[in-house]
Chains A and B, each alone.
Chain A
């Protein structure tokens, strides 16, 4: 039978179908953000084993390159690391002293400290399927008590928060995504602001008054407000400040403390309420 082109009425109905369905999806997603859509979980569940496999293969190949082909840089890297080690030893000593002082202060004031939160370690198994949003996939899901809005961190600081959890994997919105916002404060001055993502590899700190003293290199930590990130987690370091007289707030760019482009393992801080 000869091939016939689809009729225009049929094409118009397909176009209308596409527009309608996408509009419904977008509206549901935009208005009822808290709804975990079941088909999203199914697709993630279906693809995550393949993501696991590809990540393992990719890591193995990268490992070979890092350990065998890039040894040329090792000597200079070693010199740099020795210097860094000396600096860190000195820093460590200072911190130990400060720690002892804090311990003594805590005993005096009967300070109980923060609650120990349970956590789960997860491996990064994939990245966003588009380049427009900043999301990673981790290999832990509701089976491991991971749920929506839990904070995801590394030893270096904040990574992001869970936006969708399926059985064995979850989606994590990185702090560099343009929809991300972390209530933060400067570690030294304790001035507060909101660290928001820009969609690039850097964040911006908003709502810092023009009169606040901020300088390049200042550390930014989470304030604990907002209910997602615990207080005191490292968010990043100030790398650029723009002050304009007619503005109420400063323009501050913050480099994330975690290298989000190469993060491999993360810690998901579980909610404090244990079942049973």
Chain B
């Protein structure tokens, strides 16, 4: 049951990312919901499940993107791993801490993309455009993230109320 809810939520998020967001943010800067999910799952899911979920959503994002396959798997997997390791040492609650960590993570995500594309595809990729938009990309994510974190928290609370405790122990 938990897996089904997660799959539906992922399809919903991926669909929003690839359709609705382009209408709301018509320019070149579009928030990355998948990155926010990766950070959230790294922090809030128990044991190492956050890492796997982060890597999985990154992989799905790769499949729905025209970029190099594996780039988002790598960046989101690393993000999930990083937050899973340090989650006991940091407090990511409230607008400013969430915004700060998401902003920093966005910069790292953009850099991983840039390095992967330029190193593996060599001169085929012109990456200058990335630098001009990466800060705005980070700000955009940082603004959206607190709201999404709040929604995810609410969704988890709802799940804990509705579903049997046994099936939610792992989340």
Chain A residues within CB distance 8 Å of chain B:
3-6, 10-11, 14-15, 18-19, 21-30, 37, 39-40, 43-44, 46-47, 50-51, 53-55, 58, 62, 125-135, 137, 163, 171, 173, 177-179, 196, 198-201, 261-262
Contact = CB atoms under 8 A, between A and B. Distances in A.
Given A6-B48, A26-B120, A50-B12, A43 B19 contact: no
Contacts of A30: 68, 120-121
B50 to A, nearest CB: 10
Contacts of A179: 66, 121, 124-125
Contacts, number: 161
B30 interface: yes
A47 B67 contact: no
B47 to A, nearest CB: 6
Contacts of B23: 58, 62
A128 to B, nearest CB: 5
B17, B120, B121, most chain A CB atoms within 10 A? B17
A51 B18 contact: yes
Given A28-B69, A50-B12, A131-B28, A126 B18 contact: yes
A129 B113 contact: no
B68 A127 contact: no
Nearest to A62: B23
Given A11-B85, A47-B18, A54-B16, A27 B120 contact: yes
B19 A54 contact: yes
B120 A137 contact: no
A131 B78 CA distance: 19
B163 interface: no
15 contacts: A14-B51, A18-B81, A23-B70, A25-B69, A25-B70, A47-B18, A129-B18, A131-B137, A132-B110, A132-B113, A135-B65, A137-B18, A199-B126, A199-B127, A261-B22
A130 B32 CA distance: 7
A230 B38 CA distance: 43
A57 to B, nearest CB: 8
Interface stretch (B54-62, B90-98, B145-153): B54-62
B62, B116, B120, B137, most chain A CB atoms within 10 A? B62
A50 B15 contact: yes
A201 B66 contact: no
Given A22-B74, A25-B70, A179-B66, 11 more contacts: A18-B74, A22-B71, A24-B70, A29-B69, A30-B68, A47-B14, A51-B18, A126-B19, A129-B65, A131-B32, A133-B65
